[in-house]
A and B are shown apart, each in its own frame.
Chain A
Amino acid sequence: MFTTGSKFLIGAAVISLVATLVYGIGQGGVMGTIGLTSATVARAGLAALNLFLRDSNVFADDAQLDTSSAAQHAPGASVWPLAFAVGAIVVTVGLVTFQPIVIIGLVLVLAAGAEWAVQAWSERASGTVAHNASVRSKLSNPLEYPIGSAIAIGIVVYGFSRVMLWLSKTNTVIAFGVLASIVLAIAFVFAARRNVGKGVIGGALGAGAVAIIVAGFVTGIDGERDIPVFETTALWQSEAILHPEEFAEGTEKGKHPAGLICESPEEFPEADEDASQTVGNKSNTVNVTLGADDTLTYRVPGPTASVGIEVPTFARSNATNVIFFNRSDEHRRLSVSLGTEEVEVDGETVTAPNQLCTTLIEPGAEQLITVIARQPSFAFDDGFFFFVPGVDDARLELVVP
């Protein structure tokens, strides 16, 4: 009495009813409840209609239906109606709760709907099940296999990425190494034993995939580890100015030195430690050198060496590439003071120093810094100057007219 179609509709109606009750009592949103109620009513109505009309059931007592190919055999079990229903519900739920879920639901609805349609159409191609199946797979497999594998691989990779982001930095290296070793070991085992069946391999891969997906789900929910972003001196400088409290906390915990990086001769993590010591190719740079006598000198290399310019003069708003040569005995950085600027800290406007600096480089090394001065130097009492934190004599006036 209950045909396949009516079973689907009744199930959908029941699920909608449950969702309505849960949502309506739990969340209590007006629009959502209305939507879910409408869905329930619509589906219940369709189910009733379906039952009343007996769903054009081919098992009805009507001998003349023998000859239609659709009546020859019952359509096989199919997951697509269920997937379609699930997709429809995800769309509905998403509309009233979390919008992006609607996309997932829509994709599911479209995919399941397409598969359902193709399956139904192929079943009418002939009376032979095997032939119909080959027709269906010839059409659908070129899409199913690539897309399906892409999705499956994507989910596994995404799960793995969540695990990697959750573990601490050293642990990720260990975990990756362990996992790779396991894979290698299992592969060796399979290679050594010639008659390992497809099922065993499939099972192993499947178990691994499930494990990664589950681990990824769990760690994804838990959240990423704390990943501080401090690769450049500019970021350290702005952290100190814009988030002074967090910065002070970090100093207390010993994570980094106190004070602004551009005024500090000490080494800051990441920016100074891992800095590349190579300088990229730039055309016609100028040089600022910290000599062994702890003074800063300026030079424009190339043809104007003979002109002997000693005072750096930069045009306003021009990006000027400066190479810092450290010819002293200590690790040093070159800093530029470009006056002050107004910044917003916790909603208040504060006057903060406008400084740039290179990373801390070893004796004999070079580093590049690009200076862009947007205001003239005479706008500030102290003007602009190059300096080296920790070396008081190293100070070179920078003129921006």
Chain B
Amino acid sequence: MAIIERPADTTTTVAPVEEAAPVTATSSYGYLRRPVESTGWRSWAFTVDHKKIGIMYGVVAMFFFIVGGLEAGLIRLQLAGPEGTVLSADKYNQMFTMHATTMVFLFVMPMAAAFANYFIPLQIGARDVAFPRMNALSFWVFLFGGIFLNTSWFLGGAADGGWFMYAPNSDVPFSPTNGVDFWALGLQITGIASLVGAINLITTVLNMRAPGMSLMKMPIFTWMAFVTQMLLLFAIPVITVALFLLMFQRSYDATFFSVEAGADPLLWQHLFWIFGHPEVYIIVLPSFGIVSEVLPVFSKKPLFGYTFVVFSGAAIGFVGWGVWAHHMFASGLGPVSVAVFSVAPLAIDVIFGGAVLGLFAGMYYWWPKVFGKTLSESWGKWNFWLMIIGMNLTFGPMHIIGLQGQPRRMYQWTENRAGEGFFNLGMWNLVATIGTFVLIVGVALFFINAIWIHRRQPVAPLDPWDARTLEWLTTNPPKPHNFDRTPTVHALDEVFHRKYEDVGEGDSHEYVQRSTLDELVLEEEAQADAHIHLPAPSYWPIVLAFGLPIMAYGVIYTTWLIVLGAAIVVAALFGWALEPADAEDADFDPPAAGGESTSKELANV
């Protein structure tokens, strides 16, 4: 939806002759148009509004969370008892590979992107991101890439080499089905989404902050998300290179990882972990940011050591590049492996605890902002406790199992290696499985809370948590243009300082409320900008995104599909470049302040 101005009635290029059809800015060549719908599925499919895109990212990410959770459930069922028969060895290998790939690339990263997309512009006082169509492109590329990756289940088997896909096991003689090809190409596609998004958000943060918001007055979530995007910017190209090498190795007989040709399989490990270590920070930093937002609101104090926290985040971003080889201690690089590294689920526990719980915290905190209602608190408490207990019951025993000698990625364990006594491998495996199902119930409660209970909830007040940052200076949910008037920022935690004033003297402090948030928002409305120009929706991002998986299918099956997919991509690029800046007419006409519709005027752009 956009507040659209009707363009001036002049033609652009040549002085027309009588029958000349003027080429106006609204309809290039008579066929390139902008979509105009503001309701219905088309308003979602062609949107460039960062808020809609954020919601779509979130919904799809939660869908993949369920998919990954089902995969985890099957894994744990298989390992609940000795020599399980739920999954064959082959299916188990596919299951754990896809579980990890789905959780990392199709759940956590997009969920963080959802928050970043929705809240970075709001937190910095902008109306949208720097490149709205690229933003839409990121989402659709991610969605189609994720779907493409999962079609492998139905097309000969999913990838089965582990989410780290070490060479030479990833090569054709050892992974003969197309699964690994789907994995490599699917991640290549979703990598495009992440990289494009990173460029977009970095530009947004650096260029579109509200007047007065210096970098050190930015909310901490924006800071952490910004560091994350910088990490993505440099890490994704590395995995892109690795995936290209793998794709050429498998599909076009290259010898990058062929030992017979003199290659060193450790090349893949180095490339993967140079990406892989920054990747774990990419996963966890947004959640650090969310928790650092939530804690101050409920402690009613600013973040302690904000400067330190910002610099720590940036330091993580820098220093994290130098430590990738700690994923390779046993690889024979030099010094020795330590037995503790068989306790591998440590990493998963940290991801789950750190990242996932942080994301859920963000959802409960920002739900009223996005959807206008709070989630039910009682259901939320059940959700939280079951998840915490389930998480510890699932991953805690895995530490013990590892220390007792069961390595990872084993499709079965046997009775005679399980040790004696009650607390043996068998018992811990069973506990971990039970924990998984407790966790699943906990997550299910979240969905019940979000989908059904949500409907019965009353409309939330404008300021349910007495918040501190700029995104709350809008309605719930925010209007399409976010802020009626671009705010001028004077301090960190701007909204808090607008609400409260310190009337104490000297060392004593007394905070008195000067305004409620409702009053502040009304005041903003009264001072609304007369002319607000929003980016218009576009067909081309989704069309372009559609061409990419077709090309990927072409790499696997037939080169003609590559040609077809490339043609779609090129055509979409043309459309993108040549389409008019605005739609001729939209069916939405919001009243500006003061009642009369004065929206359709030429903007001073």
Contacts and interface: CB of A to CB of B under 8 A. Distances in A.
State if A and B touch, Cβ cutoff 8 Å.
Answer: yes
Interface of A: 69, 125-128, 130-131, 134-135, 138-139, 142, 280, 283, 319, 370
Interface string B570-599: 000010011000000000000000000000
B16 A135 contact: no
Contact of A128 (B20, B259, B574): B20
Interface in B12-53: 13-14, 16-21, 23, 29
10 contacts: A126-B21, A127-B17, A128-B16, A128-B20, A131-B17, A134-B13, A134-B14, A135-B23, A135-B29, A142-B574
B10 to A, nearest CB: 15
A235 to B, nearest CB: 15
B266 to A, nearest CB: 9
A69 B19 contact: yes
Contacts of A130: 14
Contacts of A128: 14, 16-17, 20
B332 interface: yes
A152 to B, nearest CB: 20
Given A125-B21, A127-B19, 4 more contacts: A134-B13, A138-B578, A142-B574, A319-B259
A280 B262 CA distance: 10
Interface string B457-474: 000000000000000000
Interface in B227-260: 259-260
Nearest to A281: B264
B23 A127 contact: no
Nearest to B23: A135
A341 to B, nearest CB: 17
Contacts, number: 35
Chain A CB count within 10 A is highest, among B19, B332, B574, for B19
B332 A126 contact: no
Nearest to A372: B260
A131 B29 contact: no
A126 B17 contact: yes
A134 B259 CA distance: 57
Contact of B16 (A126, A134, A142): A126
B16 A131 contact: yes
Contacts of A139: 29, 578
Contacts of B13: 131, 134
Contacts of A283: 332
A138 B13 CA distance: 11
A95 B574 CA distance: 34
A390 B505 CA distance: 100
A142 B19 CA distance: 27
B167 to A, nearest CB: 16
A127 B14 contact: no
Contacts of A319: 259-260
Contacts of A125: 21
Contacts of B260: 319
Given A139-B29, A142-B574, A283-B332, A131 B20 contact: yes
B570 to A, nearest CB: 8
A126 B23 CA distance: 10
A370 B259 CA distance: 11
A283 B265 CA distance: 12
A126 B577 CA distance: 23
Interface string B418-449: 00000000000000000000000000000000
Nearest to B13: A134
B332 A131 contact: no
A295 B16 CA distance: 95
A134 B11 CA distance: 14
Contacts of A135: 23, 29
B20 A126 contact: yes
B19 A126 contact: yes
Contacts of B577: 142
Contacts of A280: 262
B14 A131 contact: yes
A283 B259 CA distance: 13
Contacts of B16: 126, 128, 131
Contacts of A69: 19
Nearest to B11: A131
Contacts of B21: 125-126
Contacts of B20: 126-128, 131
Contact of A127 (B18, B259, B332, B574): B18
The 10 closest A-B CB pairs, nearest first, are A126-B20, A131-B14, A128-B17, A127-B17, A127-B19, A69-B19, A126-B21, A128-B20, A134-B13, A131-B20
Chain B CB count within 10 A is highest, among A126, A138, A142, A370, for A126
Interface in B260-312: 260, 262
Nearest to B260: A319
Contacts of B17: 126-128, 131
Nearest to A282: B264
Nearest to B570: A143
Contacts of A142: 574, 577
Contacts of A370: 262
A265 to B, nearest CB: 27
A283 B262 CA distance: 13
B16 to A, nearest CB: 7
Nearest to A126: B20
Nearest to A370: B262
A370 B19 CA distance: 79
Contacts of B262: 280, 370
A125 to B, nearest CB: 6
A343 B168 CA distance: 30
A319 B578 CA distance: 58
A138 B28 CA distance: 11
A319 B19 CA distance: 79
A283 B19 CA distance: 79
A127 to B, nearest CB: 5
A370 B16 CA distance: 77
Chain A CB count within 10 A is highest, among B17, B259, B574, for B17
B238 to A, nearest CB: 22
B19 to A, nearest CB: 5
Contacts of A131: 13-14, 16-17, 20
Contacts of A126: 16-17, 19-21
A81 B13 CA distance: 29
A58 to B, nearest CB: 16
A303 to B, nearest CB: 14
A126 B22 CA distance: 9
A142 B260 CA distance: 46
B15 to A, nearest CB: 9
Nearest to A67: B19
Contacts of B332: 283
A138 to B, nearest CB: 8
Nearest to A131: B14
Nearest to B577: A142
Contacts of B19: 69, 126-127
B572 to A, nearest CB: 14
Nearest to A129: B17
Nearest to B259: A319
Contacts of A127: 17-20
A114 to B, nearest CB: 12
Contacts of B574: 142
Nearest to A319: B259
Nearest to A68: B19
Contacts of B18: 127
